[in-house]
Amino acid sequence: MALLERVSTLVRANLNDLIDKAEEPEKMIKQVILDMQNQLLQVKTQVAIAIADQHLLEKKQKENGDKVAEWMRKAELAVDKKEDDLARASLQRVESYRELSESFSQQVTDQKAQVENLKSALRKLEQKLTEAQAKADLLIAQHRRARAVSKASDARIAMGDNSKAATFDRMKRKVAHSEAVSEAKSEIAGDNIDDRLAALEKEDRIEQLLVELKTKRGV
């Protein structure tokens, strides 16, 4: 789904790297946040639509399941009345509705998976947007300071202080590199946390389904 791909791109985006590459960092930051907000609204809409589709499929599945039971009762009645032709016709209906019910069952399973994917994307994008909004002012301030320092360095170089300016530039690049490495580690750690939490949620769902199945089967 193209929407999920766009969301994934935004979630993986490193604001510091984007700022370094942007000609107008402040404008870029605002645009990224705006993109995230727009994508968030789209994902919320898609989640609502997917859930509605899931409910519709579940309704169709139940209707066909009810038809199976209804025609099975009719087949039993026909057998009791020794009407074999009617019994056969009723059983044909039973099989037809059973196949439809199984088909809808598979569609419900697939739809539930799609809903979970969308919900997961929504949670990650909400978290990323919150982080981006919290960091926006700080990043803009850092950029302004860096720009001011760069202009001061240019002024000193113009005045002939080449050796000191070169040393300062090397230190600035070293600091920038250290900040980029720290940011990358933080991004990786954040992704690991998301993945671990998602895995825990999945395990809980599986355990719950197992308990429900055992209870239903009397195990």
Predicted confidence at residue 108, as pLDDT, reads 95
Angstrom distance (rounded) from CA 177 to CA 171: 10
Predicted confidence at residue 36, as pLDDT, reads 83
- List Cα–Cα distances, 11 to 39, 123, 127, 191, in angstroms: 11, 10, 9, 9
Q: What share of the chain is helix, strand, coil (3-state, %, to 5)?
A: 95, 0, 5
State which amino acid sits at residue 208.
Q
Angstrom distance (rounded) from CA 196 to CA 159: 55
In order, the DSSP letters of 4-47 are HHHHHHHHH--HHHHHHH-SSHHHHHHHHHHHHHHHHHHHHHHH
156 vs 45, more confident: 45
Task: Give the global pTM.
Answer: 0.53
Cβ contact 36:132 at 8 Å: yes
Reported as a single tens digit per residue, the pLDDT across 49-95 is 999 999 999 999 999 999 999 999 999 999 998 888 999 999 999 99
Predicted confidence at residue 30, as pLDDT, reads 78
How far apart, in Å, do the first and last CA atoms of the chain sit? Answer: 40
Total residue count of the chain as it appears in this document: 219
Asked whether residue 37 carries a pLDDT value surpassing 80, the answer given is: yes
